[in-house]
């Protein structure tokens, strides 16, 4: 039996045993995970069947046609796209079995405690400290720009465990319980008016050593797996033709002939072509992922995603004129999801400004593409071999 036939047979067995119309949504998702149909390329017992990653679309299509519920991947994107591949690669067997199933079913939401206001784009300069006390680590510090922290049960966290070595060497990677004493989440109101991001304060937070991912001091290497997967999940999302930002402006162009000008027409055509090129390149990138871990190519995709979103949303506001400045809701909402296409043009214009910061700033990603994709000489880094405690801050 071929892999495809095996997966289709397993999918139909799942549907027969758990008819979507009669089965509770969460019960169905748990059964799907147990059947190895959550992410088919994962190991058996962890939601997969060690099948080729490319065959996930076969399973998804069969389940969608049967009306099976999904796990709302946009709501749990940080867990799916960042935490899960890191846990799979560096976690112990106990950690994999504890965290992956409720992560995939959406029972437990995850967030990312990486960025710090004092480190800026230089993530390796982070100052949050973790000090060993017996079987625990005591963590103190502040994280910022944390999506979904107000919803999350768990966080992936990197902290400095050795200030006496160069900055990249003294970092360790942890799983932090967001309900533990000492974890405080405060909303950050954004230019859109809502508070999708947060700042998180960690005061004497005790994390058991059993929730460490990877070796002590090896957190930077572990974090690279997270970051590469993050950039692919942001810039390489699967979307249909005219999906994403290009869709609303193309729709407006077709339905509002009174707004058209020759100049805007030309610019829209150029952006439409670029959006289609990026979409197809994303498809190719996902095909490459079947062969192994994501590489620096994801940084190029995320760069293109940010630039295109900003240019398209700017042109949309220009096309609509005064109407494009209208904004229906300026209250400080705490959204679960970022809705780029279901809101007003003014919202899209403002929210897109963050695309060149979140998931790695465009400046940092340009360096990655230059050095790791194009093979250009690395930038001079005078602080590379200096102990972190001696760096100017």
Q: Beta-carbon neighbour count of residue 297 at 10 Å?
A: 22
Cβ proximity of 373 and 300 under 8 Å? yes
The CA-atom distances, in angstroms, between 361 and each of 3, 271, 355, 382 are 40, 22, 8, 21
Residue with tokens 């230059």: 370
Which position among 116, 230, 316, 344 bears the catalytic label? 230
Angle at 24 between CA 100 and CA 11, to 5 degrees: 65
Cα–Cα distance measured from residue 129 to residue 205, given in angstroms and rounded to the nearest whole number: 11
Cα–Cα distance measured from residue 199 to residue 182, given in angstroms and rounded to the nearest whole number: 14
- Encoded tokens for 52: 């080729």
Cβ proximity of 42 and 75 under 8 Å? no
Q: Which helix (H) or strand (E) holds 274?
A: helix 262-289
Cβ proximity of 121 and 183 under 8 Å? no
Q: Beta-carbon neighbour count of residue 259 at 10 Å?
A: 15
Q: Beta-carbon neighbour count of residue 191 at 10 Å?
A: 10
Q: Beta-carbon neighbour count of residue 369 at 10 Å?
A: 17
Q: Is 230 a catalytic residue?
A: yes
Burial 22-44 (b: 16+ CB within 10 A, else e): ebeeeebbbbbbebbbbbbbbee
Annotated active-site positions, please?
A: 230
């Amino acid at each position: 039996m071929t892999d495809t036939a095996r997966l289709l047979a397993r999918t139909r067995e799942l549907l027969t045993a758990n008819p979507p119309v009669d089965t509770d949504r969460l019960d169905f998702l748990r059964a799907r995970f147990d059947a190895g149909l959550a992410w088919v390329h994962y190991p058996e017992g962890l939601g997969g069947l060690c099948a080729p990653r490319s065959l996930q679309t076969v399973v998804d299509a069969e389940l969608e046609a049967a009306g099976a519920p999904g796990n709302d991947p946009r709501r749990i994107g940080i867990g799916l796209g960042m935490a899960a591949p890191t846990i799979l690669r560096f976690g112990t067997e106990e950690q994999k079995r504890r965290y992956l199933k409720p992560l995939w079913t959406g029972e437990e939401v995850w967030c990312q405690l990486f960025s710090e206001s004092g480190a800026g784009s230089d993530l390796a300069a982070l100052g949050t400290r973790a000090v060993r006390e017996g079987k625990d680590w005591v963590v103190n510090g502040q994280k910022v720009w944390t999506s979904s922290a107000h919803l999350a049960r768990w966080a992936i966290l990197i902290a400095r465990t050795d200030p006496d070595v160069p900055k990249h060497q003294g970092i360790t990677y942890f799983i932090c319980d967001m309900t533990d004493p000492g974890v405080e989440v405060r909303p950050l109101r954004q230019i859109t008016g809502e508070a999708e991001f947060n700042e998180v304060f960690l005061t004497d937070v005790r994390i058991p050593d059993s929730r460490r991912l990877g070796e002590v001091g090896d957190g930077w290497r572990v974090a690279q797996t997270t970051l590469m997967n993050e950039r692919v999940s942001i810039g390489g999302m699967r979307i249909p033709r005219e999906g994403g930002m290009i869709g609303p402006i193309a729709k407006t162009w077709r339905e509002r002939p009174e707004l058209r000008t020759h100049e805007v027409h030309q610019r829209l055509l150029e952006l439409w072509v670029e959006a289609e090129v990026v979409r197809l390149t994303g498809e190719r990138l996902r095909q490459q992922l079947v062969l192994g871990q994501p590489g620096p190519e994801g940084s190029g995709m995320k760069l293109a995603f940010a630039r295109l979103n900003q240019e398209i949303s700017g042109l949309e506001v220009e096309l609509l004129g005064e109407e494009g400045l209208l904004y229906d809701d300026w209250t400080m909402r705490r959204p679960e999801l970022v809705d780029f296409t279901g809101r007003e043009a003014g919202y899209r214009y403002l929210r897109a400004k963050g695309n060149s910061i979140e998931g790695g700033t465009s400046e940092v990603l340009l360096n990655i593409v230059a050095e790791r994709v194009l093979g250009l000489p690395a930038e001079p880094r005078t602080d590379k071999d200096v102990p972190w405690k001696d760096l100017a801050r």
